Structure 1
Amino acid sequence: MKITDFGKYKQAGRKISMLTCYDYWTASIVEQSDVDCLLVGDSLGMVMHGHDSTVTVTMDMMELHTRAVVQGAPSKFIVGDMPFLSNRGSLDKSLENVHRLMTAGAQAVKIEGVKGNETLISHLVDSGVPVMGHLGLMPQSVNTLGGYKVQGKSQQQADEIIAQALQAQASGCFALVIECVPTSLGLSLSQSLDIPVIGIGAGVHTDGQVLVMQDMLGAFEHNANFVRTYCNLQETLQQAFDGFAEDVRTEQYPNTDESYPS
């Protein structure tokens, strides 16, 4: 997938599939799949590092994980998340942080929120950096929002999100992630924007869907209600680990074929 395909897919009514990815070995598997694009999301702070939120994620972490994903999935379109406050300092500092993700191999960056980011988004786009927006539930603002809650439930809130989405488009964003909003708002956004709207907990009418890879693989016991699990990775891995431990204890592993002769 190329940057120009996002608009083409929307015009053709062809849905966009996107997964988060954080490391080389899973990226190398997705590389062989039909998934369109990958997001090196700041959700890695929770999924890969065990933190309670994305607020603790640093540029060093994002750069490291982006390089690993690019190595594993060189043919996929890869978007790198700008972590908490990395784009809210001076313009020079923000550009430096964006440069780190792009030189790590990302083909675009994702920025949460529009208010206060309009100038930066326009400057990045004018400088040759594709920018994906993110509205609705914005995990970096969880302390302001008071938790992980559905956004845009009232008409006033919905109108504000639509206004911000239109501003994101006007500022030059090539696509928009919309998270945890009512299905009707996901539909309104897709109909209101010329750029594709990629939903996560935003209903079926958006122009595409993104999920956290480990959520859809069933790697954790508790997921948001919008997550569909496509396998039970937790159970599969637990069985494999237990089988290995049992074979070691009973001397079933290694066997003769798995050992070097004297």
Structure 2
Amino acid sequence: MEKKVTVRDIVKKKGREKIVAITAYDYVTTRIVDQAGVDIILVGDSVGMVVHGLPSTIPVTMDMMLLHVESAARARPRALLVGDMPFLSYETSIEDAVYNAGLMLKKGAEAVKIEGGSEVADVVKAMVRAGIPVMGHIGLTPQRHLLIGGYRKRGVRKPEAEKIIEDAKELEKAGVFSIVIEFTAADVAEEVTREVSVPTICIGSGPSCDGQILVLHDILGLSEQTPPFAKKYADLKTIILDAVSRYAKEVREGVFPGREHSFYSEAYNSREG
């Protein structure tokens, strides 16, 4: 068995080796992406949209996330398994934040991710003091899409770019081991990567970060709407549709199941003889 990836291993990759991260939400997908050799598997709150059909990540609950974290953890991945903290699981109080993050670890996560910059620095500090590794998330923060005016590009204007860079520095000081930068101008993400000593992991923020992350369903062609920054590496929707259509056709035509898919009683065989 290959060596287990730890938080320390991720930090050491900064400036030396690109970090490969991806989402997965259950035992099966976690097992498969881990076999592909990724470094980080994020059980993301995007599960609410891509698996449960919710309109955003806001309705996602702790119970939902804990269920998916526990399922993914059963795959015992070599990659670092990170649980995404859902909306209102860490904003209401520091005590709630630490408690809920602790529940993630009890279900098998090896770190947690929270959205926000300087406004969540105290939460990060408290989690780290409690022994919980934290991944930050700045730029486009989907849980705050109502506040920021939708799922829009971030860091295009100078004041916003400066705020993103400052947020990254505050998260670094608070103790995060890495920072996700989402849908942010590539030159701003590059500047953040230079300014902080922890790895940056981009999604839709250019090639200069220390690593990249994408949603599994986007790269497999299973998403209803693929973000402009995602790349589709397969078209599983077409493959699945074709397979199920052929199955339905064979059932209706009496082709499936065939004799090779069935077994018979001894009484039946003796009558045949």
Measured against the shorter chain, the TM-score band is over 0.9
User: Partner residue of 2:84?
Assistant: 81
| 1:66-102 alpha-carbon deviations (Å, 9 max, x no partner) | 0001112432211111110110122222222111111
Of structures 1 and 2, the larger Rg is shown by: 2
TM-score w.r.t. length of structure 2: 0.93
Contact 2:115 2:137 in 1 (8 A): yes
The match for 1:61 among 58, 61, 64 is 64
Asked if the contact 1:24/1:72 (under 8 Å) is kept, the reply is yes
- Aligned pairs for 1:122-161 within 5 A: 122-161=125-164
1:241 is aligned, of 244, 262, 265, to 244
Task: Give the alignment's TM-score, normalised by structure 1.
Answer: 0.97
> Which of 8, 13, 17 is 1:9 aligned to?
13
| Partner in structure 1 of residue 103 of structure 2 | 100
- 2:268: which partner in 1? none
Task: From 225, 228, 233, give the equivalent of 2:228.
Answer: 225
Partner secondary structure for residue 257 of structure 2: coil
Verify: 1:187 aligned to 2:209, yes or no: no
Residues 87-133 of structure 1: CA deviation (Å, up to 9, x unaligned): 01222222221111110110001010023321221121122110000
Counterpart residue identity of residue 216, structure 2: M
3-state DSSP of counterpart to 2:13: helix
2-side partners of 1:112 and 1:221: how far apart? 24
Partner of 2:256: 253
Number of equivalenced pairs: 261
What are the ranges of 5 or more consecutive residues in structure 2 without an aligned counterpart? 266-273
Root-mean-square deviation (Å): 1.1
How far has the Cα of 1:221 moved from its partner? 4.3
Q: CA deviation at 1:222?
A: 2.4
CA-CA distance at 1:220 after TM superposition:
2.4
4+ runs deviating over 3 angstroms: none
Identity rate of aligned residues, in percent?
39
Unaligned segments of structure 1, at least 5 residues? none
- Larger deviation: 120-129 or 38-47? 120-129
Q: In structure 2, how many angstroms separate the alpha carbons of the residues matched to 1:36 and 1:74?
A: 10
Equivalent of 2:41 in 33, 38, 41: 38
**Residues 215 and 229 in structure 1, CA contact (< 8 A), matched pair in contact too:** yes
